[in-house]
Amino acid sequence: MINRRTLLQGMAAGACASFLGQLSPRQLQAASNHQSTPKRVIFFMQNQGFDPKTCVPEGMTSSGSLAKAKLPEPIEALEPYKERLHIINGLHGQHTSPSHSAFFGALGGYRGSDGVPPSAATIDYEMSKVLPQTLLPHLCIGMDSIENMTTKPTIATLSASGAGQPIFMHSNPNHLYQMLYGGISTGDIRQQHEAQSNLFNQIEKLAAAKGESLPLTDQLRYGQYVQGFEEINGLRERLASVSDHLRKFAPQVDERYTKPEFETDWHDVLLDLGISALKSGITNTLTIGSGRGEIFGAWKGLGVEQQGHNLGHMEQPDNPIWIKIRQYNSRMLVRIMEELESVPEGSGTMMDHTLIVYTSNNADKQHTSGANWPVMLLGNFDGAFKTGCFTQLDGKRPINALYSSLLCAAGAPCDRFNMNEQLASKFDTASGPLKEVLV
């Protein structure tokens, strides 16, 4: 019997048969390996742009090995991990019209703007669909100032499951901990979890009953609201069914949760929760929004007093403020790798089957045209991606081509990701994934 996942993969493969014929035997094998081992992908999106001078080694103007290169100061924490690193320069996102941010367009590869709903699913959600099913297919966490994370514990600006269907980021670690581990906790956390569960169940029933009396057009809109509570309650039940397993991975709650001195305390514990969700197998797709996909963000815990929009008006290269922020991000990337490296999986470790995509929701800088969109990849996704190298592209292929590469490596190849032929004729000089990045 063919299940829905197999059917979807077959449809995707059929639609891209012309592209598959162009792949080498090694690339075909990498694309087919997705069923042999578990895989996971992490998207780390820093706001305000990613200037290429903060990641491209000095003197490197053409593609080559990173073995003898010295990484720039902002990413120097990755120096011991160069053999796992692939720096890509020269992709573009002009069609996303980023300016302050491309918002959903950064991961969607389409035009995005402040307050504009997503026009299609984003790559992180699409990857969660083709990777092996988990209890929580896709987890999004967002880091910002303590004030913003407190007053707006959830926000949707980066990820979407479809047109007009945003996915919310979790920014209050106390709320996220309750959602993931409240069922196995004790004391106040357990009491709050049970009270919330009862409340959400009552709201779901009440909302469903009240929605039946609305006009049909309003019923459809109201139905999305009801579905949200159904998903929350369903997740709580699924997590409760594996409580013994989850106890091994739940982080220790300390004063960083309840009495954070700086916003970076919450950034750190949000990262803890994201890593724990990956290690426990709750999810295999994690999206991290540093600045939550907007022009905001604060890092007072690093000694950076400036925050938000003002940071975007500062040049990033050789700027001590941006060096601190980027180094902090790099340490987070190292932490993710070390944690996943510590867990045996198959003949290797979890990190061997993982890919981390680090970039910005705003190309290379604030007020950008999107002509250059640098990206760093860490890990090889079970041998699918080249590592230990730098790739310089000519600015003629869009970020969509990278996203096609991710889907190809996950076993669901597509000629174009969220780009029709008319758009591609203007913004893409080829079709299919980037052969420069695949093994």
Residues 254 and 331 in one domain: yes
Flag whether 26 is in a domain: yes
Secondary structure of 318-384 in HEC code, one letter for each residue: CCHHHHHHHHHHHHHHHHHHHHHHCCEECCEEHHHHEEEEEEECCCCCCCECCCCCCEEEECCCCCC
Residues 101 and 191 in one domain: no
Q: What is the CATH number of the domain that holds 99?
A: 3.40.720.10
* Counted domains in the chain: 2
The closest of 286, 366, 365 to 332, measured between CA atoms, is: 286
Residues 401 and 369 in one domain: yes
Grouping H, G, I as helix, E, B as strand and the rest as coil, residue 88 is: strand
Residues 199 and 297 in one domain: no
Token pair for 93: 């996102």
Is residue 288 within 8 A of residue 141, CB to CB? The reply is yes
Grouping H, G, I as helix, E, B as strand and the rest as coil, residue 189 is: helix
Between CA 403 and CA 382 the distance in angstroms is 17
Flag whether 45 is in a domain: yes
Residues 329 and 407 in one domain: yes
Flag whether 436 is in a domain: no
Residues 77 and 206 in one domain: no
Flag whether 228 is in a domain: yes
Flag whether 282 is in a domain: yes
Note down pLDDT in tens along the chain; length 439 residues. Answer: 334 333 233 323 332 333 333 344 444 344 444 445 789 999 999 999 999 999 999 999 999 999 999 999 999 999 999 999 999 999 999 999 888 899 999 999 999 999 899 999 999 999 999 999 898 889 999 999 999 999 999 999 999 999 999 999 999 999 999 888 886 655 665 555 444 554 444 544 555 555 565 566 665 555 554 455 456 656 777 787 788 888 899 999 999 999 999 999 999 999 999 999 999 999 999 999 999 999 999 999 999 999 988 999 999 999 999 999 999 999 999 999 999 999 999 999 999 999 999 999 999 999 899 999 999 999 999 999 999 999 999 999 999 999 999 999 999 999 999 999 999 999 999 999 999 999 9
Token pair for 220: 């459809």
Write down which residue in 249, 275, 304 finishes a domain: 249
Flag whether 437 is in a domain: no
Is residue 168 within 8 A of residue 157, CB to CB? The reply is no
Residues 112 and 217 in one domain: no
Give the residue numbers spanning the domain of 15: 4-173+250-427
